[in-house]
Structures are given as C-alpha cells and as structure tokens.
Amino acid sequence: MDQHLETLSAMLDGDVVNVEALQAALADAEARRGFVEFVRLRQVAREESAEPAPAFAARVGRSWERRRALARLRVPLPLAAAAVLLALLGGSLIDVKWPTFERAEARPPQPSRVLQFDVPPPDTRIGGR
C-alpha cells in the first residue's frame, strides 16, 4: 500500500515512474483514494495565496516603524557607560558640605500647672498585706 502511494505521488510530482508499478497502484482502491487526496492537497496549495492579509501587513508595518523610531532614540552602550562613569567621578570629586543647624539646649518646656495626687505608699511586704 505504501509503495503504491509513493508511486502515485511520484507520478503526480512529474517523476519517471515504472508503468507496471503505476498499473498495480491504480488497481488498489486505497491507493486510488490516496491519489485523489494528493490531487485535492495540490489544488488547495495552489489556491493558497503566499501574500499575508492586508491587516497583518499593516500591523507589522506599524510595529516596524515604532521599532525604528525607538532605535533612533537609543544611546549606544559605550556612550551610556561613559556618562555613568563621568557622573560617578564627578560626584566623588564634589565636596558637599551639608548644612548643620545649631540647636538650642534641649530642655523640656516649663509646666503650666502641677498636679499632685495623695496616694498611700505601696506596701513593701511580699503578698501585699
């Protein structure tokens, strides 16, 4: 069966085929059904367009334009590395003097009134009796 299908496929592709093998392949009902499927497959392949759909082509075009626009804005890696090194070097050379604020002596504010409570002293014996 597989040999018959190979023979019919080769004939359909335009290859040289042994006539006796072709006759035997055409005598087999399964091989004839396979031959019909080969022909259907070729017709579908011919009808299929190799061009993408217009909507797909438009999306790809927009995506490509965005990438090109972003590529123009990108900074080359050596230039970016040099800028970082210069910033680090410049920052290490600058002598920054942070402002210090003089604080007055830290004392609590004066009380506006004093509250006193008359509470008996706690019992110092163990057990509280």
Task: Please indicate whether residue 61 or residue 72 has the higher confidence score (pLDDT).
Answer: 61
Domain ranges of the chain: 2-47, 54-88
Q: What is the rounded CA–CA span in Å between residue 109 and residue 73?
A: 61
* pLDDT per position as a tens digit, 92-116: 888 777 777 777 777 888 889 988 8
Q: What is the rounded CA–CA span in Å between residue 114 and residue 129?
A: 32
Q: What is the rounded CA–CA span in Å between residue 127 and residue 37?
A: 105
CA 35 from centre of chain: 46
* pLDDT per position as a tens digit, 4-43: 888 888 888 888 888 888 888 888 888 888 888 888 888 8
Model-wide pTM > 0.85: no
CB of 18 within 8 A of CB of 10? no
